[in-house]
Amino acid sequence: MKINKIKEMSSPDLEKELSELKTELFKLRFSLATHGLDNPMRIKEVRKDIARINTVLTERKIAESKNA
């Protein structure tokens, strides 16, 4: 997921996407441990997407606290 798309999303949508990505990451790790994956690079992609979303959410919280 690109950072521009993430920045366009609202905070509640980002929270929802974050929970979905964490669930997907869990399933990928479980699948890797049990029988292997077709695309092991997907774990890396999901981890980076989680980090991007967390970064945008943190930036918004900081901006919100400065404005308040």
Quick one: pLDDT band at residue 12, thresholds 50, 70, 90?
very high
The pLDDT of residue 1 is 81
Q: What is the pLDDT of residues 19-37, one digit of tens each?
A: 999 999 999 999 999 988 9
The pLDDT of residue 68 is 78
**Residue 57 DSSP one-character state:** H
Q: How far apart are CA 11 and CA 8, in angstroms?
A: 9
pLDDT at residue 59 greater than cutoff 90? yes
Under 8 Å between Cβ of 43 and 68: no
Quick one: pLDDT band at residue 51, thresholds 50, 70, 90?
very high
Fold adopted by 11-67: Helix Hairpins (1.10.287)
